[in-house]
Amino acid sequence: MPLLQARELSRSFGSTRALIDLTLSIDPGEIVALMGANGAGKSTFVKILSGVLAPDGGRIVFKDQAYAPRTPAEATRAGVVTVHQSTDLVGIPGLSVADALLLNRFVDPRSPFFVSRRSVRAEAESMLHEAGFALPLDRDFADLPAADRQLVAIARALANRAELLILDEPTASLSTGESQRLYATLKGLKQRGIAILYISHRMADLEALADRVVVLRGGRDVASFDRPVDFDAAIETMIGRPLASARPHARRPHDDPVFELVGARLLPSSEPFDLVLHRGEVVAVTGVLGAGKSRLLSAIFGSGRLAAGTMRLAGRPYRPANPRDAIGAGVAMAGEDRHRSSLMPAGWPGESVAATISLPHLARWYPSGLLRNGIERGKAEAAIDRLGIRADGPDASVWTLSGGNQQKVVLARWEVEPGKLLLLDEPFQGVDVGARHDIIGAIRAHADRATLIATSDPEEAIEVADRVVVLDHHSLRSDLFDKPAS
């Protein structure tokens, strides 16, 4: 007798069909893992289950009753609780962990108006007792590590008598040890008959926990694998083609190393690894959110630090103290989330296409200090032609451009001057298919530098790169489709 049965669920956004006739059931005490590339429909499904979205078609039966929550609160009352990826939203910095545990109790108008520190503590203790794990109740929530924040969210879910727990990439920001603790907790819950829907790309998670893996592709449930799971088959199903043909048009041999990383540790506790990038080579580093991709790129760019290890650029030792040093040495980075990392706000000086491109090159282009418009406009016009940027001209605000064209402008910023190494963090975020094609072409057109691309989407990685490496728990595994080491 399944706890939850979803039958032929569909949901469209405009002309995009995010979910097509999805059918899935979960038994009490079962851990079901959901796999799928970006846009496969995982998050749409989770949003429907947690009452954020309503399905266009199909129905859900939960505990033998029709289940159609209209709000997250309704879903929670029914016993379906979602623990989201960003756990900073669980509590409030400055308040204690006990307060965080009881946060939704405070919101409840039926709860007592006056609260004392003692009553809060007592109630929080009984919650943790019920959940079966310990947390430092008097600690400031802000000081709590990500793993413990997750436990706060889970304890709150259990206090709400959750019967189905939905976990979205729960180990994304956890260390190996913390992940192990989470596995133990989840197995304990499973023993008590609580069902878990688990969303993760991380092989180690799936291997440790999943009773069953369900693969989504293009909004459909395309396959289901029982334990022991054949992960090669699961990944082939996920990307929709055999692994062998997934290797790209290789442009090797690249034999001129531009950048070398030796004995690098991203965290003091993580495994050391080496990485060599060659001239003209495009390497993609993939891995789940929090696997250390951004940490690796920012260490190379000087905005972060390696815990250990040495770097060499063009044969010389390379130790950037900040992005300025890195740029001076010929290393450039287009950061993740271009709005935050690359663009000026709308209506502010420097929002034009030309100014966006020229920002890092002002000192070189305008040695006198006075801005004579000619240089940056000329360079921007050339970039608009070269990359096919759809804009009214170099003076147009970048905010009038589509996401893909904004990304081209950001790319233009860094390829307009020669360099040795280009780092791109999630360059395809919010980029439509056409622009994505242009961007891949532009990235691959450069034979004079090495390019390192971080992306959490393995398909994207295969599409753009000569070579794909995987970061897992802040350490590098040389090839994408090796079986998990454990």
Partner 1 sequence: MTTADPGLPEAFAAATRRGATAREVLRAGAVFILLAAMLVGFTVAQPAFIGINNLMSILQAVSVVAILGTGVTVTLAVGGFDLSIGAVAASSVMAASYFMVVWGLDAYATVPLVLLFGAAIGALNALLIVRLKVPDLLATLSVMFLLTGLQLIPTAGRSISRGLILPDGSTASGQYDPLFLLIGRSSLFGVVPLPVVVMATVAIVLFVLTERTRIGRLLYATGGNELATRLAGGATQRLKTLAYVLSGTLASLGGIVVAARVGRGDVSSGASLLMDSVAAALIGFAVFGLRRPNVLGTVVGAVFVGVLLNGLTMLNAPYYTQDFVKGAVLVGALALTYGIGRSRS
Cis status of the peptide bond prior to 55, with omega within 30 of 0: no
Cβ of residue 346: shortest distance to partner 1, in angstroms? 10
Task: Give the nearer residue to partner 1 in terms of CB position, either 170 or 335.
Answer: 335
Q: Which of 171, 342, 406, 475 binds partner 1 (CB under 8 A)?
A: 342
Based on its alpha-carbon atoms, the radius of gyration of the chain, rounded to whole angstroms, reads 25
Alpha-carbon span 286 to 462, nearest angstrom: 10
Give the distance between the most distant pair of CA atoms in the chain: 77
Cβ of residue 301: shortest distance to partner 1, in angstroms? 8
Q: Which of 79, 170, 290, 335 binds partner 1 (CB under 8 A)?
A: 335
Instruction: Measure CA 381 to chain center.
Output: 34
Alpha-carbon span 211 to 198, nearest angstrom: 10
Task: Give the nearer residue to partner 1 in terms of CB position, either 170 or 302.
Answer: 302
Binding map of partner 1 across residues 352-391, x = CB under 8 A, - = no contact: ---x---xx-xx--x--xxx--------------------
**How many residues contact partner 1, by CB under 8 A?**
31
Binding map of partner 1 across residues 303-332, x = CB under 8 A, - = no contact: x------------------xxx-xxx----
Q: Which of residues 218-247 bind partner 1 (CB under 8 A)?
A: none
Would you call 109 exposed, middle or buried from its count of C-beta atoms within 10 A (0-12, 13-18, 19+)?
exposed
Cβ of residue 366: shortest distance to partner 1, in angstroms? 5
Which are the contacts of 239, defined by CB distance < 8 A and separation ≥ 6?
37, 217, 246, 458, 459, 462
Dihedral Cα 265, 270, 272, 277, nearest 10 deg: -60
340 is a contact residue toward partner 1 (CB under 8 A): yes
Cβ of residue 125: shortest distance to partner 1, in angstroms? 36
Binding map of partner 1 across residues 384-423, x = CB under 8 A, - = no contact: -----------------------------x----------
Cβ of residue 341: shortest distance to partner 1, in angstroms? 6
Cβ of residue 110: shortest distance to partner 1, in angstroms? 39
Length of the chain: 486
Alpha-carbon span 330 to 313, nearest angstrom: 9
Which are the contacts of 152, defined by CB distance < 8 A and separation ≥ 6?
87, 90, 91, 97, 100, 101, 135, 141, 144
The residues that touch partner 1, with contacts defined as CB under 8 A, are 301, 303, 322-324, 326-328, 333, 335, 340-345, 347-351, 355, 359-360, 362-363, 366, 369-371, 413
